[in-house]
Structures are given as structure tokens and as C-alpha cells.
């Protein structure tokens, strides 16, 4: 039996919830799961930009007409809306099997003394509090059936800090600590807790970070070949399609010319 068929069998009829699914890693994850399951999966796609979610769902359905997709506008930084959202899911989407906590952001690249308080607040609410609240809302579903996969998208910045990234690095370090504790708390269950820490990925992340400045965002990748959202999505699929007795607890990924957050070797140095 081919690997592709085995993966499809593992994903068959699963219900997958992705936060931050309107672009980048989230969008790529939705598309890759649809492809890997041959459309035999149910997707719950959430993000702040509902119009983008609708476009993505329409595009996926054109390729896989029978796939079931539920889209919903949800800003996970507004934590009070998360539990009502989960409890209000349509019945056919309510028994979630896989949660991908993908939504996250960085705002600016200023030294701590110059970081705006609202940026600190927004990054922690999205990257940490929203992720924790979503996990708390979904966990009872997993506990009831004693199975499920929680995939937390961290960052290399949780492992290797850099000047100008104090708040973002701190949020991702929080994700890393939370994930580690959660895995220990669930050790006597069949619920798997997976952390994936990407390095440089070519998405809207840097465009958001630099306030929509396309030139500054593009300079990040000058002379290097970054990863794509699809690269990360493929790693997520690999992780959740393992046999139930196997957990890919942590995965660190970066481009071949990146060693850590502070050492990216550009073409002129090669």
C-alpha cells in the first residue's frame, strides 16, 4: 500500500479545525489536507477575514466537489467568543478530530523600550491567550472520546531570540511551554500534542509585521529561498497521519540556508 493511500485512510472522515486559515500556513494547511484525503475530510476554517475564507472554500470545492467545509469569521484575540463558537458549530462539524492552532502575528521589530503597548497586548492576546482559549474549548471534545490531535504552530523564535523580537519571542516561548505542559497533562490519554516550529516562511506574516510595507517585507527574503506555507502544511499532515501510538512531539523546520533566527546565510555569503 502506498504512503499516500495510508495517509488518506488515516484522514478519512476526520474533522479539522484551523485558526488563521485565510492565508499563509493556514490556507496551505486547508488545501493540503483536502488533497491528502482526496476530499474525504471536513474542514472548519476560521479567521478574521471571512471573505477570504469563502474564496478559499470555493476554490477547494471546485477541485473536491464532495468535501464539506464550514467557514466562520473568528478573531481568537477576542477570547470570550471562542467557547460559544465551538458550542455553536453545526452538528456535522461538532465532533472535532484535529485542531491546528495556527493564528498568530508579529507587529513591528522594535527594541523593547520602543514597542507600543497595544502591540504587546495584541500579540499576547492572539498568539497566547487565543491559542490557550481555543485549546480549552476543544479539549472536552477530545477527552470525551479519548483521542484527537492538537497541533500548535510555534516558531524558531521560541528557541532562538533576537534583538527587536522580545515580545514575539516571548509569546512563542509561551506557546512552547504551554504545549510541553499540556502534553504531560494528557500523557494518560490518546490525545496527541504536537508542536511545529517554523523558521523563515514566505507568507503575509512579514507584511503584517511591517505594517503593510511590501518593500521592507520583501527584503527579509533577499538572497535566500524561504519555505512556503505548503512545506509547513505537509509537515502537519505527516504528524497527524502517524499511527495512534506514535506522536511527533516537536518539529523544528527552517530553510537550508537558515541556522537559527539570527543566522540566515544569503547568496553572497555562499
Q: What is the 3-state secondary structure (H, E, C) of 15-80?
A: EEEECCCCCHHHHHHHHHHHHHCCCCCEEEEEECCHHHHHHHHHHHHHHCCCCEEEEEECCCCCHH
User: Known catalytic residue: 168?
Assistant: yes
As its CATH architecture, domain 5-253 has 3-Layer(aba) Sandwich (3.40)
User: Known catalytic residue: 172?
Assistant: yes
Spans of all domains in the chain: 5-253
Task: Please tell me the predicted confidence (pLDDT) of residue 263.
Answer: 61
Instruction: Give the global pTM.
Output: 0.91
Out of 64, 168, 184, 243, the active site residue is: 168
Out of 143, 172, 219, 262, the active site residue is: 172
User: What digits encode the pLDDT tens for the residues 184-230?
Assistant: 999 999 999 999 999 888 876 666 676 666 777 677 667 778 899 99
Q: Is 82's pLDDT higher than 90?
A: yes
What percent of the chain clears pLDDT 90, i.e. is strictly above it? 74
Span 42-48, average pLDDT: 97
Span 16-34, average pLDDT: 96
Residue 37 CA to its chain's centroid (Å)? 19
- Higher per-residue confidence, 127 vs 212: 127
Q: Which candidate, 249, 252, 12, places its Cα nearest to that of 154? A: 252
**Euclidean distance between CA atoms 262 and 122, whole angstroms:** 24
**Euclidean distance between CA atoms 48 and 30, whole angstroms:** 16
DSSP 162: -
What is the pLDDT confidence band of residue 2, given thresholds at 50, 70 and 90? low
Amino acid at each position: 500500500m502506498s504512503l499516500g493511500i495510508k495517509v488518506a485512510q488515516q484522514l478519512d472522515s476526520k474533522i479539522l479545525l484551523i485558526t488563521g486559515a485565510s492565508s499563509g500556513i493556514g490556507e496551505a494547511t486547508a488545501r493540503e489536507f483536502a488533497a491528502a484525503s482526496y476530499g474525504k475530510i471536513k474542514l472548519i476554517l476560521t479567521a478574521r477575514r471571512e471573505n477570504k475564507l469563502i474564496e478559499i472554500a470555493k476554490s477547494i470545492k471546485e477541485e473536491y466537489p464532495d468535501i464539506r467545509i464550514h467557514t466562520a469569521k473568528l478573531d481568537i484575540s477576542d477570547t470570550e467568543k471562542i467557547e460559544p463558537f465551538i458550542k455553536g458549530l453545526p452538528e456535522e462539524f461538532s465532533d472535532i478530530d484535529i485542531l491546528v492552532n495556527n493564528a498568530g502575528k508579529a507587529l513591528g521589530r522594535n527594541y523593547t523600550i520602543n514597542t507600543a503597548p497595544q502591540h504587546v497586548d495584541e500579540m499576547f492576546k492572539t498568539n497566547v491567550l487565543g491559542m490557550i482559549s481555543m485549546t480549552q474549548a476543544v479539549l472536552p471534545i477530545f477527552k470525551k472520546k479519548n483521542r484527537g490531535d492538537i497541533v500548535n504552530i510555534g516558531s524558531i523564535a521560541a528557541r532562538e531570540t533576537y534583538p527587536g523580537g522580545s515580545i514575539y519571542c516571548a509569546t512563542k516561548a509561551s506557546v512552547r511551554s504551554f504545549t510541553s505542559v499540556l502534553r504531560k497533562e494528557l500523557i494518560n490519554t490518546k490525545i496527541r500534542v504536537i508542536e511545529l516550529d517554523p523558521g523563515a516562511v514566505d507568507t503575509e506574516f512579514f507584511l503584517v509585521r511591517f505594517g503593510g510595507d511590501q518593500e521592507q517585507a520583501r527584503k527579509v527574503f533577499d538572497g535566500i529561498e524561504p519555505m512556503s506555507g505548503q512545506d509547513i502544511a505537509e509537515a502537519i499532515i505527516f504528524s497527524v497521519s502517524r499511527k495512534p501510538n506514535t506522536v511527533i512531539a516537536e518539529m523544528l523546520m527552517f530553510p537550508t540556508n537558515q541556522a537559527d533566527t539570527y543566522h540566515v546565510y544569503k547568496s553572497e555569503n555562499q
